[in-house]
Each structure stands twice: as C-alpha cells, then as structure tokens.
C-alpha cells in the first residue's frame, strides 16, 4: 500500500456513501479540514453534516451520531480508533483522514495519513485536500480548497521547520497558485504578521530568528528603519506593513538584519521564509496571508465558535468575518495575558522539563498555544508543560506540552512521553513529538511532572 492508495480508498469510501458526518477538531487545521470535506461532499452531491469536538475522547464520543451516515474523522481519529472499536463501529462506517500518530486496533479502518509514509509536514487539511482532489480532479473549487489546505498546514506549523511548506503540502500551494487563489512569496523576512503588523512591531516581535538588538526592542526597530530611510507610514498616514514594501525596501531590511545577526555570530539560516498570500482578500486584513488567517480560525475554534471559522473558510466575508475579527482580538489579548502570566510567575524547572500550573485562569483550549509562545522566551532546552483545570469537568486536569525541532532532533518525543505517563495513571494523551497534550485524573496530578521528567530524561540523546 502507498499513501496514494490510501487516499484513493478513502475517497471511494466517501463517494460511495449515502450520507456523511464529518467529525473534526476545533483548531485551524480542523476547521479548514471540515470546510474542505463539506465542500467536497456538497460538490459530489452527498448529503453531509459536521460536528466539531475539542478532542476525541470517551466523553466527546457522544457527539458522534449513531446513525447510518459514513463517519469521516478528520484531524483526529488516528489515535482514537479504540473508541470507535469500543462503540462497535465497522470498517465500512468509518473513514479517517489524519496526521496524528496512528493506533493499532483489530478493525481495519480505512485511513489516509501521510505520517506512516514519512510525510510529517502534511497536516489533516492537506490530506483532506488530496482526498477531495481524488474525488474530483476537475473540482470546480480546487483553488479555494487549496487555500484552505494551506491555511490548515500553516496553522499546524507545517511550514516552520523548513521556513516554508515542503513535499505534498508545497504542491498544494502550487495548485492554489495555478488556480489564482494563492501567491507564493519567496525569500521574505521570516515573520508573523506581514499583512497587519506595523513594520517596527513585525521586526521587534521576531524571536525565530532572534535578532540581537531588535528582537523585543521596538525603539531599536524604529531606529533601524529610520537609518534605512524606510517610511513607516503611507502618505495617507496609515502604518505600513511588510506586504506594502517594494522589493528594494525588503532587500534593504533583510540585508540590514543579516548584517546585524552576523556581527553577533548568529546563524542566519532562518532569516528568510516563504509566505502564502491570498490575492483575493483585502489588503491589511488577517485573511491576507495563511498564518494570520490560521490565527483567526484558532481564535474562533478555541473559543467555542468553530462554525464562525468554518463560515469564513466557506467564503462568508460579512457577519461571520466580523465575528471572527472580534474573536481574534479577544484571543490575542488573552494569549498575551497568558504569556505574561507564565513569564512573570516563572516556571518550575526540573532536570529535563519545566512546568507551570495555571489552574482555572486560562481555558484548556488555549494553554497549548500559550505554552508554545512562552517557550520561545524561556530555556528552550527544557520542554514546557502547562497544566490547567477544566471548567466542565472537575475530575480532570489538562496537560499541554511544547518543545522545538532542536530538542526533537536530540530524541525528545512529547507524544510518547505524555501518552506513557498519562496512561499509567488512567489518563490519555497524544499528539506529536513537538507538541502533545493529555487529560489526567485530578487526583493524580501530584508528581505527574516528575513522572514525565523521568521519561524525557531517558529520551535525551
Ligand atoms: O495536532 P494538533 O493539530 O491539534 O496540534 C496542534 C498544535 O500542535 C499546533 O497548533 C502547533 O502549535 C503544534 N504542532 C507543532 N508542530 C507540529 C505539529 C503540531 O508545533 N509538527
Ligand atoms: O491541546 P494541545 O494544543 O496541547 O494539543 C497538542 C497536541 O496533542 C494536539 O495534536 C492534540 O490533538 C494532541 N492531544 C491529544 N490528546 C489529548 C490532548 C491533546 O492527542 N488528550
């Protein structure tokens, strides 16, 4: 079997269905995945509905309807096939489209997942796109599907390691470019916010790459721009963003940053990256590029409004978009507060990890994002673990862990560590080497960090 065979098998399973229920996850990858599958079903005239869950676990399985529709699990399911089996779901009732580590069960559920074939930089929305394209290679909405797939991939950090998408995910971006929905900008400054962040903010917020003298220093970023004679405002007084610059201005900034980094012996290999722009979207809005678009979807999903995000993916630029903007503002504010809380309070350092308990200050749906952002300002050698309480279940504690590629290269596997540690105490977890999460019983939270620390210590090479 090849990855292509699996995609074909899943596509046929969907095409043969009388009705479909798409079960998806509430983050940017899950929301774009849902939008892709719903569009694919609509275009194939298959009646479809969808359900979003925070995580597929015993408690949320009740949202998966017990009807005769084909259950298409997307961006989840690979690691939870035991739950499908426990419910007695048969092979012909299920199709899994995912990118998480898969689980071995007796029932041979059909699954399209790039992971086992070495496509580790292809998220669920990317696999969903390949399934949709297989269902109809001359799909009338291929450009729109490619755009959603790129947002999902970028949202799940698939472009981070190589400063751009690679493999099948990059080919999807190229499909979008051909269809006119995506513009691929090469050799740009590797930063977040190229469509909405004022230049000095865009520069001073950079932590990957870290630019000595500019990162975390807005005033120095301003001086740097002034020296290069780059206007920070348009003639009309609007703040300019990276996307507004002409090629000479971009080159001047990149050369200046490179000099500044080289002067202090920094590695400049992460200074440049590829960006994915959506030319049909209005300039200056968060929908203009893939990473900011993904943040808006995360804001909707993580704050319990995934359908608002889904409507935006399906093209709503009125009511849903306005709500999405509002969710985005709120999301950014709370994430900033959480970062500040972690940095002000400080983490507890063990020999191989650092941890912090935020109790009920922040919801379980965002602690992973806050953990990832805080880690970029903390000791990167020690993976961060953030624990919090769940507002709808006093018996459980949510755990989120994040590390970075350098530590993964040294043997760290957060998915394996969290899964082993949580299963020993009656909890459950999963995810990726670089980012993982778990739910554990509250009466077992004491000593949990130490347990994970021991496992991580053994993993380190
Ligand atoms: O797999 P799950 O999609 O829900 O992962 C969500 C988060 O995991 C992403 O928002 C991202 O922060 C992190 N992640 C990552 N690198 C990967 C995969 C996931 O940082 N390769
Ligand atoms: O929730 P968080 O963003 O920390 O999740 C990181 C990764 O861990 C995601 O891929 C998510 O799907 C996975 N996860 C899991 N089981 C859990 C919690 C999170 O597989 N109980």
Q: For the domain that residue 409 is a member of, what is the CATH number? A: 3.10.310.40
Q: Please identify, among 300, 335, 370, the residue that sits at the C-terminal boundary of a domain.
A: 335
pLDDT of residue 406: 84
pLDDT of residue 40: 97
pLDDT of residue 134: 98
As a whole-number percent, the residues of the chain with pLDDT over 90 amount to 92
Measured between alpha carbons, how far is 455 from 136 in angstroms, rounded to an integer?
Answer: 46
Straight-line distance from the first to the last Cα atom of the chain, in angstroms, rounded to the nearest whole number: 33
Number of folded domains that form the chain: 3
Q: Is 366 contained in some domain?
A: yes
**Helices marked H in 75-141:** 81-86, 124-135
Confidence band of 78 (pLDDT split at 50, 70, 90): very high
Q: Is the CB of 438 under 6 A from ligand 2?
A: yes
Q: Is the CB of 301 under 6 A from ligand 2?
A: no
Residue range 141-157: mean pLDDT, rounded = 97
Q: Is 156 contained in some domain?
A: no
Burial of 346 (0-12, 13-18, 19+ CB in 10 A): exposed
Radius of gyration of the chain (CA): 22
Residue range 62-87: mean pLDDT, rounded = 96
pLDDT of residue 85: 97
pLDDT digits (tens, 9 = 90+) for 81-106: 999 999 999 999 999 999 999 999 99
- More confident position, 59 or 308: 308
Measured between alpha carbons, how far is 401 from 417 in angstroms, rounded to an integer?
Answer: 10
Measured between alpha carbons, how far is 102 from 106 in angstroms, rounded to an integer?
Answer: 13
CATH code of the domain containing 24: 3.90.1640.30
Three-state DSSP at 356 gives: strand
Same structural domain for residues 8 and 107?
yes
Q: Which residues contact 271 (CB under 8 A, 6 or more apart)?
A: 189, 190, 209, 254, 257, 258, 261
Rounded to two decimals, the pTM is 0.92
Same structural domain for residues 28 and 100?
yes
Q: Is the pLDDT of residue 449 over 80?
A: yes
Three-state DSSP at 360 gives: coil
Nearest ligand for residue 32 CA:
1
Same structural domain for residues 201 and 285?
yes
Residue range 93-121: mean pLDDT, rounded = 96
Q: Please identify, among 335, 354, 371, the residue that sits at the C-terminal boundary of a domain.
A: 335
Residue 27, H or E segment: none
C-beta separation of 165 from 150 below 8 A: yes
pLDDT digits (tens, 9 = 90+) for 6-26: 999 999 999 999 999 999 999
Q: Is the CB of 310 under 6 A from ligand 2?
A: no
Residue range 33-41: mean pLDDT, rounded = 98
Range of the domain at 220: 186-335
Measured between alpha carbons, how far is 398 from 54 in angstroms, rounded to an integer?
Answer: 12
pLDDT of residue 392: 82
pLDDT of residue 259: 96
As a whole-number percent, the residues of the chain with pLDDT over 70 amount to 100
Same structural domain for residues 192 and 327?
yes
- Give the count of beta carbons closer than 10 Å to the beta carbon of residue 34: 34
Nearest ligand for residue 80 CA:
2
Measured between alpha carbons, how far is 180 from 249 in angstroms, rounded to an integer?
Answer: 26
Same structural domain for residues 211 and 233?
yes
Report residues whose beta carbon is within 6 angstroms of any ligand 1 atom: 25, 27, 29, 100, 156-157, 372, 431-432, 434-435
Nearest by Cα to 173 from 146, 155, 145: 146
Which position has the token pair 């308990």?
Answer: 357
C-beta separation of 245 from 230 below 8 A: yes
Q: Flag the least confident range among 10-19, 54-63, 138-147, 186-195.
A: 54-63
Q: Which atom of ligand 2 is nearest to the CA of 400?
A: 4
Measured between alpha carbons, how far is 84 from 86 in angstroms, rounded to an integer?
Answer: 5
Whose Cα sits closest to atom 10 in ligand 1? 156
Q: Is the pLDDT of residue 461 over 80?
A: no
Q: Is the pLDDT of residue 57 over 90?
A: no
Measured between alpha carbons, how far is 68 from 46 in angstroms, rounded to an integer?
Answer: 14
Q: Is the pLDDT of residue 59 over 90?
A: no
Q: Is 340 contained in some domain?
A: no
Confidence band of 109 (pLDDT split at 50, 70, 90): very high
pLDDT of residue 77: 97
Measured between alpha carbons, how far is 8 from 14 in angstroms, rounded to an integer?
Answer: 10
Instruction: For ligand 1, pick from 26, 122, 156, 162 the residue to mutate: most ligand atoms within 8 Å of CB.
Output: 156
pLDDT digits (tens, 9 = 90+) for 387-396: 999 988 899 9
ipTM of the complex as predicted? 0.86
Q: Is the CB of 363 under 6 A from ligand 2?
A: no
Q: Is the pLDDT of residue 61 over 80?
A: yes
Q: What average pLDDT is seen over the chain?
A: 96
C-beta separation of 367 from 400 below 8 A: yes
Measured between alpha carbons, how far is 105 from 86 in angstroms, rounded to an integer?
Answer: 10
Q: Is 213 contained in some domain?
A: yes
Residue range 115-119: mean pLDDT, rounded = 96
How remote is the CA of residue 158 from the centroid of ligand 1, in Å? Answer: 8
Nearest ligand for residue 75 CA:
1
Cis peptide before 175 (omega within 30 of 0): no
C-alpha 416 chain-centroid distance: 19
Residues in the chain: 461
Nearest ligand for residue 60 CA:
2
Q: Please identify, among 125, 142, 159, the residue that sits at the C-terminal boundary of a domain.
A: 142
- Give the count of beta carbons closer than 10 Å to the beta carbon of residue 201: 16
C-beta separation of 150 from 176 below 8 A: yes
Q: Is the pLDDT of residue 417 over 80?
A: yes
What phi and psi values does residue 419 have, to the nearest 5 degrees?
Answer: -65, -45
pLDDT digits (tens, 9 = 90+) for 217-268: 999 999 999 999 999 999 899 999 999 999 999 999 999 999 999 999 999 9
pLDDT of residue 398: 96
Whose Cα sits closest to atom 5 in ligand 1? 156
pLDDT digits (tens, 9 = 90+) for 398-415: 999 999 988 999 999 999
256-279 burial code (b ≥16 CB/10 A, e <16): bbbebbeeeebeeebbbbbbbbbe
């Amino acid at each position: 079997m090849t990855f292509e065979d699996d995609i074909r098998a899943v596509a046929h399973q969907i095409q043969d269905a009388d009705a479909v229920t798409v079960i998806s996850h509430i983050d940017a990858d899950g929301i774009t995945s849902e939008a892709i599958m719903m569009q694919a079903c609509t275009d194939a005239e298959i009646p479809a509905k969808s359900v979003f869950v925070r995580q597929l676990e015993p408690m949320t399985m009740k949202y998966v309807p017990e009807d005769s529709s084909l259950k298409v699990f997307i961006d989840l399911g690979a690691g939870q096939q035991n739950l499908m089996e426990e419910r007695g779901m048969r092979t012909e009732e299920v199709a899994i489209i995912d990118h998480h580590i898969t689980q071995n069960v007796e029932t041979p559920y059909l699954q399209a997942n790039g992971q086992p074939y070495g496509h580790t930089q292809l998220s669920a929305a990317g696999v969903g796109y390949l399934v949709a394209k297989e269902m109809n290679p001359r799909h009338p909405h291929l450009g729109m599907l490619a755009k959603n797939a790129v947002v999902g991939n970028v949202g799940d950090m698939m472009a981070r390691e190589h400063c751009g998408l690679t493999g099948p995910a990059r080919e999807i971006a190229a499909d979008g470019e051909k269809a006119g929905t995506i513009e691929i900008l090469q050799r740009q400054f590797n930063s977040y916010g190229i469509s909405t962040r004022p230049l000095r903010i865009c520069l001073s917020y950079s932590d990957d790459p870290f630019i000595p003298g500019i990162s975390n220093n807005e005033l120095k970023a301003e001086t740097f721009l002034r020296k290069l004679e780059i206007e920070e405002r348009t003639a009309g007084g609007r703040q300019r963003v990276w996307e507004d610059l002409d090629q000479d201005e971009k080159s001047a900034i990149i050369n200046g940053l490179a000099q500044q980094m080289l002067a202090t012996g920094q590695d400049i290999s992460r200074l440049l990256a590829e960006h994915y722009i959506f030319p049909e979207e209005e300039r200056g809005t968060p929908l203009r590029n893939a990473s900011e678009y993904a943040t808006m979807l995360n804001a909707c999903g993580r704050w319990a409004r995934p359908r608002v995000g889904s409507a935006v993916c399906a093209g709503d630029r009125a009511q849903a978009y306005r709500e999405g903007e509002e969710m985005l503002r709120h999301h950014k504010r709370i994430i900033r507060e959480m970062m500040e809380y972690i940095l002000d309070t400080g983490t507890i350092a063990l020999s191989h990890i650092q941890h912090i308990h935020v109790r009920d200050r922040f919801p379980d749906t965002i602690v992973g994002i806050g953990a990832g952002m805080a880690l970029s300002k903390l000791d990167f050698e020690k993976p961060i673990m953030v624990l919090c309480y769940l507002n709808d279940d006093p018996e459980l504690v949510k755990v989120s862990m994040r590390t970075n590629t350098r530590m993964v290269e040294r043997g760290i596997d957060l998915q394996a560590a969290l899964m082993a540690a949580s299963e020993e105490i009656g909890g459950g977890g999963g995810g990726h080497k670089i980012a993982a999460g778990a739910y554990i019983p509250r009466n077992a939270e004491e000593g949990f960090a130490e347990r994970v620390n021991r496992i991580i210590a053994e993993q380190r090479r």
